[in-house]
Amino acid sequence: MTIDKILAQATADALKALYGADIPAEKINPQTTRKEFEGNLTIMVFPFLKASGKAPEATAAEIGDYLAANCAAVEKYNVVKGFLNISVSPDFWAGVLADIAATPDYGFTAATPDSPLVMIEYSSPNTNKPLHLGHVRNNLLGFSLARIMQACGYRVVKTNIVNDRGIHICKSMLAWQKWGNGETPESTGKKGDHLIGDYYVLFDKHYRGEVAELMAKGLSEDDAKAQAPLMLEAREMLRRWEAGDPEVRQLWQTMNQWVYDGFDQTYRRLGVDFDKIYYESQTYLEGKAKVLEGLEKGLFYRKDDGSVWADLTDAGLDHKILLRSDGTSVYMTQDIGTAKLRYQDYPIDRMIYVVGNEQNYHFQVLSLLLDRLGFKWGKDLIHFSYGMVELPEGKMKSREGTVVDADDLMDAMNATARAMSDERNALADLPAEERDQVLETIGLGALKYFLLKVDPRKNMVFDPKESIDFNGNTGPFLQYTYARIRSILRKAGQETVPPAGVAPNDKEITLIQLLADFPSTVADAGHNYSPALVANYAYELAKNFNQYYHDYSILREQDDATRAMRLSLARTVADVLRRAVSLLGMEMPERM
């Protein structure tokens, strides 16, 4: 039993013995004692005053006396107003450390075949351009959530919906046909997603020229945009695609494959993956069928121009288009089909969509539509909505000058890690290959931690310099702490089992108590869908270890048993740090 449960039970016993009160232990929640007071855990006695009929101080003192006499774990207590601060005996903490050190997979709960199944969708790119900084935040959040839910004992399916069809990819295809001269990723040495992205940009450039020309001839902007020859051609291409035209399909397949090869590289480097990838081209017809079915049932209505709509005004929303007048499907249509297929493929208990907050409305509508279509799970969809991320003004614009490319960003992080390591003259004695790997781990660690340590709902600025500062609340700070411990353990040269009979000092107890908090931190993170809770926990642990290490020596400790206990504590801190950041998709270097 964990110490907070032990104290809760003992307190419940005390209330019964002292006042005849029946207060269940589950209602009593000891909290970590605030730094400025003596003690490890604190119980607030205000809820017990009715039972005791006494002042807060007197009640706390009576309960404290009872605990000190009857609960072996309690060494002493002090009272500050209505707060009963309890010092748990060092021997008890020594036992806690021994238990943690001996628990494989400490803090993580394994799923069973009966565990609820959570599907988490993230990434979900369009195939007309490479991944950017926003996708990076998305991928990291989704992957981290998946790891956290797994650690909480859920079965998890990581999924992705690739929006691989539609007008956007037709624009890239058309531009490539017109101006590409048969270029390929091989012939240019460009990643396929970047190549296609460049043609998308090229389309836009020519298209804007056409629009400007038409407007100069007196057309309104809307008319010019709709009537520009390039747009008409792209639409025609989409129509041919939907009709299954072999030539268009062939080109589409080839170009999408270039993009997927590019995405795969980016995903691999970022360290994220998927269990099952859905493609819009394989789901949109399902969606269309569902919409037509809904139309027949009278759930939706058709306008004169032939388009199909849902009236959501009774739910406080507006009218939503589901099929265009030419019968082609819209973004919403494919989401209906995709959801249906997913629930067909998996016994999903919870569906989480990691998608930016600019689509809040979309998911509100999707949930309603699915519910109306009779999917009983429609109401319970979870949209994990997150805010925008930008770079500080002026830093690292992408080739387009607007968005920050994911690959460029990772390159830049790597380069910064390298420059810093050169400056510190570190890692010089490592073989080049290992050194490269460590630098990549640092660069990515900085990126991941910085993006995940904050509230996902908030817009944020990613500051590369700040993210990689070894002394800040950063990934590299955690990595450095880990590498430092690993170095101590290498020098100590032996595997350490915590010796019995060595009582930890106050700073050590603080660390052990933090270690003991890890499982509940993981549970809270899962409950709140919050990688930030894990990040903050890891930071606290690393910070406290560094303070401890500053005050006490480990390797130079003369007393063998104390030294062994400290080594065991250090090893356990390193283990828990590594496990914690693994929930953020981060890795730890053995040296740094």
- Nearest approach in angstroms of CB 354 to ligand ARG is 8
Q: Hey, what are 378's tokens?
A: 């429609």
- Nearest approach in angstroms of CB 415 to ligand ARG is 28
CB closer to ligand ARG, 255 vs 355: 355
CB closer to ligand ARG, 335 vs 407: 335
* Beta strands 41-44; 31-32: pairing state: antiparallel
On the CB side of 258, how many CA atoms lie within 13 Å of its CA? 29
CB closer to ligand ARG, 33 vs 338: 338
Residue 329, strand partner residues: 323
Rounded-to-10 torsion of CA 589, 590, 591, 592: 20
d(CA 68, CA 416): 55
Q: How far is CA 370 from CA 337, 338, 343, 379, in A?
A: 10, 11, 12, 8
- Nearest approach in angstroms of CB 280 to ligand ARG is 8
Which residues of this protein are in contact with ligand ARG, per CB under 6 A? Answer: 121, 124-126, 161, 163, 335, 353, 355
- Nearest approach in angstroms of CB 121 to ligand ARG is 6
CB closer to ligand ARG, 132 vs 155: 132
Nearest 5 degrees, angle CA 471-CA 405-CA 582?
Answer: 45
Give yes or no for a contact between 474 and 466, defined as CB atoms under 8 angstroms apart. yes
Other C-beta atoms closer than 10 Å to the C-beta of 54 total 16
Question: Tokens 């003992």 sit at which residue?
Answer: 10
- Nearest approach in angstroms of CB 182 to ligand ARG is 28
Nearest to 539 by CA among 529, 528, 531: 531
Instruction: Please name the helix (run of DSSP H) or strand (run of DSSP E) that holds residue 216, with its range, or none.
Output: helix 192-216
- Nearest approach in angstroms of CB 384 to ligand ARG is 11
CB closer to ligand ARG, 351 vs 447: 351
Instruction: Please name the helix (run of DSSP H) or strand (run of DSSP E) that holds residue 385, with its range, or none.
Output: strand 382-386
- Nearest approach in angstroms of CB 532 to ligand ARG is 22
Q: Hey, what are 247's tokens?
A: 């030539």
d(CA 286, CA 395): 44
- Nearest approach in angstroms of CB 255 to ligand ARG is 17
Q: What is the DSSP string of 120-182?
A: EE----BTTS--BHHHHHHHHHHHHHHHHHHHBT-EEEEEEEEB--SHHHHHHHHHHHHH-TT
Other C-beta atoms closer than 10 Å to the C-beta of 326 total 12
Instruction: Please name the helix (run of DSSP H) or strand (run of DSSP E) that holds residue 187, with its range, or none.
Output: helix 185-188
Question: Tokens 């035209």 sit at which residue?
Answer: 245
Residue 116 gets which letter from DSSP? P
- Nearest approach in angstroms of CB 235 to ligand ARG is 20
CB closer to ligand ARG, 146 vs 535: 146
- Nearest approach in angstroms of CB 296 to ligand ARG is 25
CB closer to ligand ARG, 279 vs 518: 279
CB closer to ligand ARG, 70 vs 360: 360
DSSP 3-state assignment of 382? Answer: strand
- Nearest approach in angstroms of CB 110 to ligand ARG is 29
Helix axes 229-242, 246-270, angle to 10 degrees: 90
Give yes or no for a contact between 579 and 571, defined as CB atoms under 8 angstroms apart. no
CB closer to ligand ARG, 67 vs 355: 355
- Nearest approach in angstroms of CB 21 to ligand ARG is 52
Question: Tokens 């989409």 sit at which residue?
Answer: 238
d(CA 456, CA 115): 27
Residue 460, strand partner residues: 389
DSSP 3-state assignment of 426? Answer: coil
- Nearest approach in angstroms of CB 42 to ligand ARG is 45
Within the chain, how many helices (H) and strands (E) appear?
22, 14
CB closer to ligand ARG, 125 vs 130: 125
- Nearest approach in angstroms of CB 544 to ligand ARG is 40
CB closer to ligand ARG, 62 vs 121: 121
d(CA 515, CA 573): 7
The residue sitting closest to ligand ARG, measured at its beta carbon, is 124
Give yes or no for a contact between 333 and 287, defined as CB atoms under 8 angstroms apart. yes
Residues in the chain: 592
